[in-house]
Amino acid sequence: MTLLDLETVSKRYGPVRALDAVSLSVPPGSRTAVVGPSGSGKTTLLRIIAGFEFPDSGRLSLDGALLADGPAGVPAHKRGIGIVSQDGALFPHLSVADNIAFGFERGAPDRASRIAELMEMVELDGAMATRRPHQLSGGQQQRVALARALGRRPRLMLLDEPFSALDTGLRENMRKAVARVLQNAGITAILVTHDQAEALSFADQVAVLREGRLVQAGSPQMLYQHPRDRETALFLGDAVLLPAIVRNGFADCALGRVAVESDHAGKAEIMLRPEQIRVVVDAAAPQNGGRVVDVQFGGAICTVAVALADVALPPILIKTSSVALPAAGNLVRLDVTGKAHVFG
Amino acid sequence: MKAWALLQDSTAEAFNGAWPARKRATALLPRVPVVALATLVALFSLVPLGFIAWVTYDVGWETVKTLVFRPRIGELILSTVYLEVITIPLSIALAVGLAWLTERTDIPGARLWAWLAITPLAVPAFVHSYAWVSLVPSMRGLSGGVFVAVLAYYPFLYLPVAAALRRLDPAVEDAAASLGLAPVAVFFRVVLPQLRLAICGGSLLIGLHLLSEYGLFAMIRFDTLATAIVDQFQSSYNSPAANMIGGVLVTCCLFLLALEVLVRGNERYARVGAGAARPVDRRRLGRLALPALLVPAGLALLTLGVPLLTLGRWLWIGGLDIWNNEVTGAVAQTIVLALAGGILATIAAVPMAWLSVRAPGRLQRLLEACHYYVGSLPGVVVALALVSITVRFLLPLYQTFAMLLAGYVLMFLPRAMVGLRASIAQAPVELERAAMALGRTPAQALRQITLRLAAPGAAAGVALVALGITNELTATLMLAPNGVETLATRFWSLTSEIDYVAAAPYAVMMVVLSLPLTLLLHAQSKRTAGQ
């Protein structure tokens, strides 16, 4: 079952390949995050789904109906796809209520009650209805934009970095609120963001874009633990990358013997997430350890840099709690929990 | 052309929240003398309005009644109203359409058409009508007046509307499309309402010009309040009749200003939210490109082609003989007058500009309003007031350079203010403080930092006022001492004698001297739009 289906969608701007044969399917009721660094083509992808642009080639269909086949297709105003953009894009000349009701059919008899309902849905105070967009805070503007898009009862909602203009605290709040509202309304959502933490916490499906290509798509856990390549691994979070020799479900590396989930055999690069590694002060100078060269105190989470013994690798950075924090110069042992990921 | 100040306001203030956030800065200059100077200039700028009020009171209600409430005044008001209500909507439609074509479509040569849309401003309005009258001698009355006025003044609307279109956030239009609006509906429900401020500002400018213009309408024999005042004035210098029509005209101006405030409302159409706007998409015209080209091309032909053609023809007929010493003399006199007026107006504007940046407050706003309002008064009224006052009280000053320059200062004060205020704002008080921390005295800091940074703005102000004076006709006709002939007045007296051939070189020189202003205006509006 898919709601939105993209088949080898490509788009160029002059010599720049913005999207290169991107295929993606979005199940109904799901939340998908498209994540990638700036310039990776994620906004182009969103604009093509919304209908503001058309692909050079490839097909796009919603609920079985063809939206675009190459440069021909259904224009944005006939698609019934909602969009909330980076700064809300509220109509500056209309009040909050008029903004929300903008997409209603002309002369909708239940206009007032629907506005009230939508405002309640996005947790906006009804007293705001007469205000103008510039009298609202950033978070309130985003709520109005969401209510306005919900007013059309879209099957698909596109979120174009809607939280990036907000303060850190507010951002998380809004993210949860939006996820809740969409869930309750049963609306499928696609979020575009460059913030990997936001993507991982918001979505059931994450799609990583790089240089116009879809590198990998899957559940957040899957992508975090089993990234396809090192760029993806590093993009989605901190990672410790080590050369190793893999044999029989184990890898021999600078940290000793580590379990892997791979039937690969021979030389490979393995990846561990820093939270898999525990730093234990151990003056016995063990094999799978090294010397602490730097400690950065950061409150709840501190960073310890460990230069591995006998290996010509840069020091590895490990995030650890401030309890039993080693000091610079200490000899430490590095214990690994869980399995390492093998590239290739 | 008192356009500059208002135009600046309608493009800049509406779209970027105007000047950089003003902080309440403790002034380094002693404040009291500056306030005193600014107050003096403000009081001087109240002279024309005060004169009208005093004259109305002085002649008594009975005289006012007989002079104002008569059919002739009714006719004049009516024809002025017709002129306004026909010209302004036509100009709006033309300017919005053209601005949309040049800014939001892929029409071939968009940049060229944008320049050509501004260039008619370099041709003084009375030269426009001179060109049309020599081409179509039967052009007369309301229809002719509307026709030439639209051609001469529509750039005042084009300029702010095009700037506003460039600044609109395309995400808002995308949002409207995603909410189910077809492109035409997006234009009328989303784009057009956001142009309201620009349209209001531009319409006000055109409205004020229609009220105060003399040359354009006199040339095609269309009577307005302004032409009636000049006619009265020429028959008797200090006639209560002229003064009373002046009162009616000022009332019309104030009515227009109030109307604009009312229509504009307390709006703020700035872009909401942070982040840079995506550059706007241009709509593909496809097969409509060729018919669409007819609009800017046809307009350029009417607004530039016709003046160039007629001027060229008269020059051809006249040959080299018409470029005589009189032309040289008029050019020299015009330049001297223009520069003197420009420098004087800029000096007069300094105290107020400095106060409005460095010591904003309620008193400052009041004084500043005085400085600005006088720019929207018709030149005829300013001249009338100065002539009547000198004749009654200061006869030795009557028809002197001093009075002519005083008139220019009053009329062009806002132009000088705008450039100065912006450039003083570029020299924040913190820089002066830094200079003093580095061992400069307050006077040195002022001279080496603030004046240095404000100099380009002051120079631009002088240039703008100078170019305004170059094309000024009405007040110069009424105030100039005997023997003083500017390009505009010489042109006017020659065309009044129907010597169109001899008049041509003067018109050409005015256009040549005005072109820099036009280029400056266009560049300025582009910069306002952040391009």
Task: Write out the DSSP string of A107-136.
Answer: T-TTHHHHHHHHHHHTT--GGGGG--GGGS
* Interchain contact, A86 vs B275, CB within 8 Å: yes
Length of chain A: 344
* Interchain contact, A138 vs B274, CB within 8 Å: yes
For the domain A239-342, what is the CATH superfamily, name and number?
A: Nucleic acid-binding proteins (2.40.50.140)
Q: Hey, which residues 256-295 in chain A have their CB within 8 Å of chain B? A: none
Say how many CB pairs under 8 Å bridge A and B: 97
pLDDT: which is higher, B230 or B460 = B230
Q: Which residue has the tokens 């094999």?
A: A287
- Considering only the beta carbons, identify the residue of B178, B190, B272 that sits closest to A87: B272
Q: Which pLDDT tens digit goes with each residue over B365-409?
A: 788 888 877 877 888 888 888 888 888 788 777 778 888 899 999
By CA distance, what is A157's nearest residue in B?
B178
**Residue B97 pLDDT:** 93
Which helix (H) or strand (E) covers residue B370, if one does? helix B362-373
What 3-state class would DSSP assign to A202? helix
Domain for residue B274, yes or no? no
* Interchain contact, B180 vs A103, CB within 8 Å: yes
Q: Which pLDDT tens digit goes with each residue over A146-205?
A: 999 998 889 999 998 888 877 887 888 888 888 888 988 899 999 999 888 889 989 999
Per-residue pLDDT band at B531 (split at 50, 70, 90) = very low
Q: Which pLDDT tens digit goes with each residue over B57-94?
A: 887 788 778 777 888 888 889 999 999 999 999 999 99
Number of domains in chain B: 1
Q: Is the pLDDT confidence value at B20 over 80?
A: no
DSSP codes of every residue in B257-291: HHHHHHHHTT---PPPSSSPPPPPPPBP-GGGHHH
**Residue A173 pLDDT:** 84
**Residue B96 pLDDT:** 94
Domain for residue B483, yes or no? yes
Least confident of A28-32, A297-301, B129-133: A297-301
Computed over every residue of chain B, the mean pLDDT equals 81
Mean of the pLDDT values across residues B278-290? 78
Q: Is the pLDDT confidence value at B465 over 60?
A: yes
Rounded to a whole number of angstroms, the CA Rg of chain A reads: 24
Mean of the pLDDT values across residues B517-531? 62
Least confident of A65-74, B202-211, B447-456: B447-456
Per-residue pLDDT band at B172 (split at 50, 70, 90) = confident
Per-residue pLDDT band at B16 (split at 50, 70, 90) = very low
Other C-beta atoms closer than 10 Å to the C-beta of A242 total: 20
Computed over every residue of chain A, the mean pLDDT equals 88
Helix residue spans in B320-450 (DSSP H):
325-358, 362-373, 379-393, 401-425, 429-437, 442-445
Chain B CB within 8 Å of residue A50 CB: yes
Q: What is the CATH number of the domain that holds B176?
A: 1.10.3720.10
* Interchain contact, A91 vs B177, CB within 8 Å: no
- A94 interaction partners in chain B (CB closer than 8 Å): 193
By CA distance, what is B265's nearest residue in A?
A93
Domain extent for B227: 3-269+298-522
Per-residue pLDDT band at B525 (split at 50, 70, 90) = low
**Residue B238 pLDDT:** 61
* Interchain contact, B177 vs A51, CB within 8 Å: yes
**Residue A5 pLDDT:** 93
**Residue B100 pLDDT:** 92
Domain ranges of chain A: 4-230, 239-342
**Residue B297 pLDDT:** 92
Domain for residue B197, yes or no? yes
**Residue A209 pLDDT:** 93
**Residue B33 pLDDT:** 80
Domain for residue B470, yes or no? yes
Mean of the pLDDT values across residues B207-236? 86
Strand order in the sheet with A266-272: A256-259, A250-253, A240-247, A266-272, A341-342
Angle in degrees, CA A314, A275, A256, rounded to 5: 55
By CA distance, what is A160's nearest residue in B?
B171
- B272 interaction partners in chain A (CB closer than 8 Å): 87-88, 90, 92, 133-134, 141
**Residue B331 pLDDT:** 85
Q: Is the pLDDT confidence value at B351 over 80?
A: yes
Which helix (H) or strand (E) covers residue B113, if one does? helix B110-118
B98/B157 Cα distance (integer angstroms): 10
**Residue A286 pLDDT:** 67
B336/B466 Cα distance (integer angstroms): 9
**Residue B267 pLDDT:** 60
Q: Which long-range contacts (CB under 8 A, 24 or more apart) does B440-443 make?
A: B442/B28, B442/B29
Least confident of B199-203, B234-238, B320-324, B458-462: B234-238
Q: Is the pLDDT confidence value at B23 over 90?
A: no
**Residue A46 pLDDT:** 92
- Cα-Cα end-to-end distance for chain B: 26
Per-residue pLDDT band at B12 (split at 50, 70, 90) = very low
**Residue B271 pLDDT:** 52
B4/A339 Cα distance (integer angstroms): 72
* Interchain contact, A148 vs B179, CB within 8 Å: yes
Mean of the pLDDT values across residues B157-172? 84
By CA distance, what is A137's nearest residue in B?
B273
Q: Which pLDDT tens digit goes with each residue over B400-425?
A: 888 889 999 998 888 888 778 777 87
- A141 interaction partners in chain B (CB closer than 8 Å): 272-273
- A148 interaction partners in chain B (CB closer than 8 Å): 175, 179
Q: Which pLDDT tens digit goes with each residue over A296-322?
A: 888 888 888 988 877 777 888 888 888
**Residue B17 pLDDT:** 35
- B269 interaction partners in chain A (CB closer than 8 Å): 92-93
- Considering only the beta carbons, identify the residue of B180, B186, B269 that sits closest to A92: B269
Per-residue pLDDT band at B277 (split at 50, 70, 90) = low
Retrieve residue B6's tokens: 């208002």
Q: Which residue has the tokens 């909050």?
A: A96
Chain B CB within 8 Å of residue A83 CB: yes
Query: What is this model's ipTM?
Result: 0.73
Mean of the pLDDT values across residues B255-265? 80
**Residue A316 pLDDT:** 85
**Residue B272 pLDDT:** 53
pLDDT: which is higher, B448 or B216 = B216
Angle in degrees, CA A142, B189, A122, rounded to 5: 20
Please name the amino acid found at residue A175.
R
Mean of the pLDDT values across residues B235-239? 71
Length of chain B: 531
B125/B34 Cα distance (integer angstroms): 38
- A90 interaction partners in chain B (CB closer than 8 Å): 172, 175, 272-273
**Residue A34 pLDDT:** 94
* Interchain contact, A78 vs B178, CB within 8 Å: no
Least confident of A45-59, B7-21, B92-106, B512-526: B7-21
B128/B123 Cα distance (integer angstroms): 7
Domain for residue B338, yes or no? yes
Helix residue spans in A56-164 (DSSP H):
96-100, 111-121, 138-150
Q: Which fold is adopted by the domain A4-230?
A: Rossmann fold (3.40.50)
Say if residues B417 and B352 touch (Cβ distance below 8 Å).
yes
Angle in degrees, CA B349, B253, B417, rounded to 5: 15
A contact test, residue of B272, B282, B284 with most A CBs within 10 A: B272
* Interchain contact, A89 vs B169, CB within 8 Å: yes
Say if residues B430 and B21 touch (Cβ distance below 8 Å).
no
> B166 to chain A, minimum CA–CA distance in Å?
16
Per-residue pLDDT band at A21 (split at 50, 70, 90) = very high
pLDDT: which is higher, A253 or B15 = A253
**Residue A343 pLDDT:** 86
